[in-house]
Chains A and B, each alone.
Chain A
């Protein structure tokens, strides 16, 4: 089943006299359970594409259909609500709330959804344990390593029970051990819970783990390949 459908997507920035076509007519679909990487050089349009899929940015043209909903037609208020209930976000810089503990950071999303307290508490514990942070529930982000913070961010992204997770360069600030750890968690969630991941990356280790790799250059898709899982020596 297709979760994401993109049809002839355009994004043009007006930089004075010059028009920059950050995304220039991309069409693609992402099915449920995919583990897809979007790669390409800096400025190729990866982040812009992810922002439009995530409803953070409005396209200049084309359609973004998420789970049957044409999100470009939603009002700002509807879009915020749609994001809350359908999309999980993982950012490069973790973006946790520093005054909240790991537990509170994860629970917070469910509070926005007005979930009951018992359900929130139970799910938060399950999620933090599933990312290996069962012993760090009451720790604030500044006392966690980068890898641990990003795992909290993954748990937070999963908290709302989204249809898919969008991750923009999730391993860019992590060392190799933390990267491997995070990838293992993401893969496990993908295998066991059929969670769909769509992420942009420059990291070859992450690309190697992806089932599908979409390469973008100058705002257009230049290749879209399914790949068998290859174990590289660097993964060991």
Chain B
């Protein structure tokens, strides 16, 4: 009964209610759409990191990641790879030799991380090969001797291009300096500028020729599904107690926390928007109480208790906010559908994004959970906005309110 009356009451002054609803709808649409953009960016970032860089799980010598020192290798790596490959959740496993060193061209030199890989296996594990455009060479495929794949950023920094010669210099396990001449066979470009500035890829066999052996510093495990991590991690940890077994969230904690951080941030932004809208709702509800003081007085006179009067005002405020909130979510939903396929291209500011490791083309992501959270926040806003007007309503003296004019 009270709900039905409250619903009818909000349409007494159609224009005024529609203005409040429109304001709420725009605010909620803006808040939820920007949130979906941020969620989309985060997902892109995480997916790109898993796909191009870390995969799902990595195994190292426990001390290797401290300073990337060449002597901290994984013993019996071949057997480990064979065993891990047999797990049903595992899609592929790749072994890497990782050495920090210098890369020099005729023009310049820079510090880099050399990734010695098996291109055939690596193709199955990471998708870096897709980051080489048609005009930027190939992923170790054209028969060059000592081929190297470097990023476009490094190519620009060292002023080199396809088929240019480069010298890689690094320290062997016994401390002696080793140099090797390599030829650029491919130039890649990911959305993560920081990754691009650091990583070059060579064949593990070429490094073995320089070092005299092919030490394995890193085993990279790609799973069929991200959710399998919880299942596979304990198995690997139990099986290889001497190794450091980490999933991508542990390897890049900032990535793991990105979603949680963005969720909190998005709720805060939405909270600020709703707080601003709440003032408008309070104002409207105060006008409603003022205009209807005679009627509210009559209701109290004939026996409507204060609890029910309070509930009626609160419901009107909640319904008003909820109409706006739902309209905003619907608008946001269609905006997300509209832009989810094409993405929003911010290439004009792309360099800044890439420098921070983000893709300049953003794809908004629909998160039903956030929409549910938004509806709860909107209801909460309605309740809060009604408190002061409802108190005003309860202060009405029925005897004065129904007094004949």
Q: Cβ of A80 and Cβ of B304 under 8 Å apart?
A: yes
Q: Which residues of B contact A169 (CB under 8 A)?
A: 404
Cβ-defined contact, B308 with A112, below 8 A: yes
Q: Is A160 an interface residue (CB 8 A)?
A: yes
Asked whether, in the complex, the Cβ of B12 is within 8 Å of the Cβ of A98, the reply is yes
> Of the 9-residue stretches A51-59, A143-151, A206-214, A225-233, which lies at the interface with chain B?
A51-59
Judge whether A95 and B402 touch: CB under 8 Å.
Answer: yes
Q: Which residues 131-187 of A sit at the B interface, judged by CB distance below 8 A?
A: 156, 160, 168-169, 172
Residue B177 interfacial (CB < 8 Å): no
Cβ–Cβ < 8 Å partners of B301 in chain A? 54, 56, 83, 89
Does B405 reach chain A (CB closer than 8 Å)?
A: yes
Residues of A with C-beta under 8 A to B5 = 97, 99-100, 108
- B294 contacts chain A at the CB level, 8 A cutoff: yes
In the complex, residue of chain A having the shortest beta-carbon distance to the beta carbon of B304: A112
Q: Which residues of B sit under 8 angstroms from A95, Cβ to Cβ?
A: 294-295, 298, 402
Subset of 18 A-B contacts with CB under 8 Å: A51-B399, A80-B304, A80-B305, A81-B305, A83-B303, A89-B298, A91-B298, A93-B294, A93-B402, A98-B12, A99-B12, A108-B1, A112-B303, A112-B304, A112-B308, A160-B303, A168-B404, A172-B404
Separation of A47 and B11 alpha carbons in the complex (Å): 34
**Cα separation A169 to B403 with both chains bound (whole Å):** 11
Contact across chains for A80 and B303 when beta carbons are under 8 A apart: yes
Interface residues of A (CB under 8 A from B): 47, 51, 54, 56-57, 76-77, 80-81, 83-85, 89, 91-93, 95, 97-100, 108-109, 111-113, 156, 160, 168-169, 172
Q: Which residues of A contact B402 (CB under 8 A)?
A: 56, 89, 91, 93, 95, 168
Q: Is the CB of A109 within 8 A of B302?
A: yes
A202 → chain B, closest Cβ, in Å?
Answer: 11
Interface residues of B (CB under 8 A from A): 1, 5, 8-9, 11-12, 294-295, 298-306, 308, 398-399, 402-405
Q: Tell me which residues across on chain B come within 8 A of A97, comparing CB atoms.
A: 5, 295, 299
Distance A28 CA – B269 CA, assembled complex (angstroms)? 66
Residue of A nearest to B298 (CB): A95
The docked-state distance in angstroms from the alpha carbon of A172 to that of B302 is 20
Query: In the bound complex, do residue A56 and residue B404 qualify as a contact, i.e. CB atoms below 8 Å apart?
Result: no
Shortest beta-carbon distance, B144 to chain A, in Å? Answer: 82
Q: Which of B8, B303, B306 contacts A85 (CB 8 A)?
A: B303
CB distance A80 to B306 under 8 Å?
A: yes
Contact among B11, B302, B404 for A89, CB-based, below 8 A: B302
* Bound: A81/B303 CA distance, A: 6
Residues on B with C-beta less than 8 A from A85 are: 303
Q: Is the interface of B mostly helix, strand, loop or mixed?
A: helix
In the complex, the answer to whether A83 meets B404 with C-beta atoms within 8 Å is no
Instruction: Give Cα A168–Cα B405 distance, bound, in whole angstroms.
Output: 12
Q: Known pairs A83-B303, A93-B294, A95-B294. 16 more at Cβ < 8 A?
A: A47-B403, A56-B399, A80-B305, A81-B305, A89-B302, A89-B402, A92-B404, A93-B404, A93-B405, A97-B299, A99-B11, A99-B12, A100-B8, A109-B303, A112-B303, A112-B304
Which A residues lie within 8 Å of B302 (CB)? 83-84, 89, 109, 112, 156
Of chain A, the residue at the smallest CB distance from B12 is A99
**Chain B residues closer than 8 Å to A109, beta-carbon distance:** 302-303
Are the CB atoms of B303 and A84 closer together than 8 Å? Answer: yes
Measured between beta carbons, the chain A residues less than 8 angstroms from B399 are 51, 56-57
Cβ contacts under 8 Å, A57 to chain B: 399
Q: Find A56's partner among B12, B398, B405 (CB 8 Å cutoff).
A: B398
The 4 residue pairs across chains A and B that have the minimum distance between CB atoms: A84-B303, A99-B8, A56-B399, A95-B298
Q: How far is the CA of A156 from the CA of B9 in the complex (A)?
A: 20
> In whole Å, how far is B266's beta carbon from the nearest beta carbon of chain A?
38
* Alpha-carbon gap, A160 to B10, bound state (A): 27
B1 touches A111 (CB 8 A): yes
Complex: chain B residue closest to A109, CB-CB? B302
Are B9 and A99 in contact, with the CB atoms below 8 A?
A: yes
Do B9 and A80 touch (CB < 8 A)? no
Chain B positions within 8 Å of A54 at CB level: 301
Min C-beta distance of A98 to chain B, whole Å: 7
Q: Which residue of A lies closest to B403 (CB)?
A: A47
CA distance A104 to B294 in the complex (A): 19
B11 to chain A, nearest CB (A): 8
What distance in Å separates the Cβ of B14 from its nearest Cβ neighbour in chain A? 12
Q: Chain B residues with Cβ under 8 A from A81's Cβ?
A: 303, 305
Q: Which residues of B contact A47 (CB under 8 A)?
A: 403-404
Minimal Cβ-Cβ distance residue in B for A172: B404
By a CB distance below 8 angstroms, the chain B residues around A111 are: 1
- Say how far A76's CB is from chain B's closest CB, in angstroms: 8
The distance from the CB of A23 to the nearest CB of chain B, in whole angstroms, is: 13
Which residues does chain A contribute within 8 Å of B303, judged by CB atoms? Answer: 80-81, 83-85, 109, 112-113, 160
Most B CB atoms within 10 A — which of A80, A81, A93? A80
Measured CA separation A225–B295 after assembly (Å): 35
How far, in whole Å, are A19 and B306 apart by their CA atoms in the complex? 31
Determine the distance from Cα of A172 to Cα of B298 in the docked complex, in whole angstroms. 18
Most buried by A among B11, B299, B300, B404: B404
* B300 and A80 contact, CB distance less than 8 A: yes
**Complex CA distance for A124 and B361, rounded to whole angstroms:** 65
Contacting residues, chain B, for A77 (C-beta < 8 A): 305-306
> Would you give the shortest CB distance from A38 to chain B, in whole angstroms?
14
Please give, as numbers and ranges, the residues of chain B lying within 8 Å of A92 by CB-CB distance: 404
CA distance A109 to B5 in the complex (A): 13
Given A98-B12, A100-B5, A108-B1, A91 and B404 contact (CB-CB distance below 8 Å): yes
**Chain A residues positioned under 8 Å from B404 (CB to CB):** 47, 91-93, 168-169, 172
B9: chain A residues within 8 A (beta carbon): 99
Residue of A81, A93, A113 contacting most chain B CB atoms (<10 Å): A93
Nearest Cβ on chain B to A51's Cβ, whole angstroms: 5
User: Across the two chains, which residue of chain A brings its CB closest to B9?
Assistant: A99
